[in-house]
Amino acid sequence: MIIVKLKGGLGNQMFQYAIGRRMAVINKAKLKLDLTWFENVGNDTPRNYELKHYRIEEDFASKDEIRELKRGTGWGMKNYRRVEKKFVPLKWRKYITESTNSFNADVLQLKDNIYLDGVWASHKYFQDVNEVILKEFQLRNSSNEANLIMTKDIESCNSISIHVRRGDYVSNPITNQYHGLCSIEYYKLAISKITKLIKEPIFYLFSDDPLWVKDNLRIDFPVVYVTHNTSEHGHEDLKLMQFCKHNIIANSSFSWWAAWLNKNPNKIIFAPSKWSNNISNSKFFLPNDWNVL
């Protein structure tokens, strides 16, 4: 049995599910989800479980199952013991915490009966089961009329999504200190570069602060501000971004997934080189064919 702890917003939950699903597929094990994080009202930014909207293998871990695999709390991937100048591998441990801000290939060598606690924000953690993830990260239910109409519009033009993440990146001091914000200069540079490659572009702008964007980001091309989906329907915004032909993403796992799920074989993706204030190099976050600014 593989148990993965879900926490954070939709994008983070997708990363956490993806590594858990990969471990379950490779080891022919059962994957179960731990949702206890969402019961903690003291979280810095309260979130809801959102993977219910997708065609995932959905099974939830019991408290007893969680308790059993969480024995040994406190051991992370960097915690090895040296015995006669040799490292004892972490495969002896059941509770696995992500203790580094870079990809750790050792995680992929683990077998059955583990509990995964982290974000695991890299495509490298699941790239050998890409087809499984692509299949399961499809919405269970059809979109409403407004989203279906916009999807048709997006598919009929040279659509480029822009995601500007503000929200708790601005209002929450802890979140702001960790993530930071993509600069206006980043967006201007990305727009300048992509409009030299794409004729007659139409930008679809997604943001949790659209008024701020209108006041601060001037775009000399047609722009559609996508504001009709509420926060409870973020999965619909992600789907709309995914159907755009090209993407300019924020330092956000939400728009990362929209770009990754984009099936356009000729897609052009622009991403920020600085993913957070604690991570100056976003190389392990981003596929090699994405453009990093």
E-assigned strand segments in 109-157: 114-117
Q: What is the pLDDT of residue 180?
A: 53
- 259 within 8 A of 271, measured Cβ to Cβ: yes
Q: What is residue 281's three-state secondary structure?
A: coil
For the record, the structure tokens of 189 come out as: 């540079």
Closest CA to 189 of 253, 251, 264, 271: 271
Antiparallel, parallel or unpaired: β 86-88 and 81-83 = antiparallel
- 250 within 8 A of 163, measured Cβ to Cβ: yes
Mean pLDDT score of the chain, rounded to an integer?
86
Claim: this prediction has a pTM higher than 0.85: yes
DSSP letter for each residue of 64-108 = HHHHHHTTTTT-BTT--EEETTEEEPGGG-SEEE---SS--GGGG
pLDDT tens by residue, 109-156: 998 889 999 999 999 999 999 999 999 999 999 999 999 999 999 999
Q: What is the pLDDT of residue 92?
A: 54
CA distance 236 to 125: 25
Mean pLDDT of 46-67: 93
CA distance 244 to 258: 9
pLDDT tens by residue, 221-231: 999 999 999 88
Q: What is the pLDDT of residue 28?
A: 96
pLDDT > 90 in the chain, percent: 68
Reported as a pLDDT band with limits 50, 70 and 90, residue 42 is low
pLDDT tens by residue, 80-96: 333 333 443 555 568 88
pLDDT tens by residue, 170-229: 433 344 444 457 889 999 999 999 999 999 999 999 998 999 999 999 999 999 999 999
For the record, the structure tokens of 138 come out as: 């499809």
Q: Is 166 exposed, middle or buried (0-12, 13-18, 19+ CB in 10 A)?
A: middle
